[in-house]
Amino acid sequence: MTAMTAVVLVGPMGVGKSTVGRLLAERLGVGYRDTDDDIVAVEGRTIAEIFVDDGEPAFRAIEKRTVHSALAEHEGVLALGGGAILDADTRALLAGHRVVYLSMDVEEAVKRTGLNAARPLLAVNPRKQWRELMEARRHLYEEVATAVVPTDGRTPEEVTQQALDALELKEA
């Protein structure tokens, strides 16, 4: 019997998956894991360095393996990188899990991330690229989501509570 992840968080970069994930894990009394952190730990390089050195296809292959391992092993709250849902096999695996899509609009993204150069997919014209990424990904986030929780103008605590309520999960 493989582990069943308590909650999987998906959504765009900067939406607060890490912050909300840690709060959710604490409130549920389970562990927290972030697949982006796993990739950095295993590869010994930042995600931006992997993108620059090896290209996006190589990064996506690493990400797919990492996400599949984490879904099989981790029983707590799991945060996925913003593009993890691009892979059809990953989306199929998520079908059996409680998945929360944390959403936000572009203005909120600008406030939160500054849409800075450390985000490799947003290096040129960040607002336009963020909008295009979301147009390409929003339906995929919605496809895998058990619940959608808007984060605009909300504190991490409010988002965490709404995620718990949406999933009808009880705190530990």
Domains and CATH numbers, the chain: 7-167 (3.40.50.300)
Structure confidence at residue 1 as a pLDDT band (50, 70, 90): very low
Q: Which residues contact 2 (CB under 8 A, 6 or more apart)?
A: 72, 73
Give CB contacts under 8 A, 24+ apart, made by 117-122: 118/48, 119/13, 119/14, 119/48, 120/47, 120/48, 120/51, 120/52, 121/13, 121/51, 121/56, 121/83, 122/13
According to the model, what pLDDT value does residue 66 have?
97
33 annotated ligand-binding residue = no
Structure tokens at 122: 């947003």
Does residue 160 have a known ligand-binding role? no
Whether 2 has a binding-site annotation, put simply, is no
pLDDT the model gives residue 102: 94
List the strands of the sheet with 147-150, edge to edge: 32-34, 77-79, 7-10, 99-103, 147-150
Q: 8 or 168: whose pLDDT is higher?
A: 8
7 — phi, psi (to 5°)?
-150, 135
CB 94 within 8 A of CB 147: no
166, amino acid identity: A
Interval 6-51: pLDDT, tens: 899 999 887 889 999 999 999 999 999 999 999 999 999 999 899 8
Q: Has 14 been labeled as part of a binding site?
A: yes
| pLDDT tens track for 116-147 | 545 555 555 667 777 787 888 999 999 999 99
- Phi and psi at 66, nearest 5°, equal -65, -45
Confidence (pTM): 0.87
83 in a labelled binding site: no
Do the annotations mark residue 146 as ligand-binding?
no
Residue 91 assigned to a binding site: no
State residue 153's pLDDT score: 85
Q: Report pLDDT for 169.
A: 66
Q: What is the pLDDT of residue 2?
A: 44
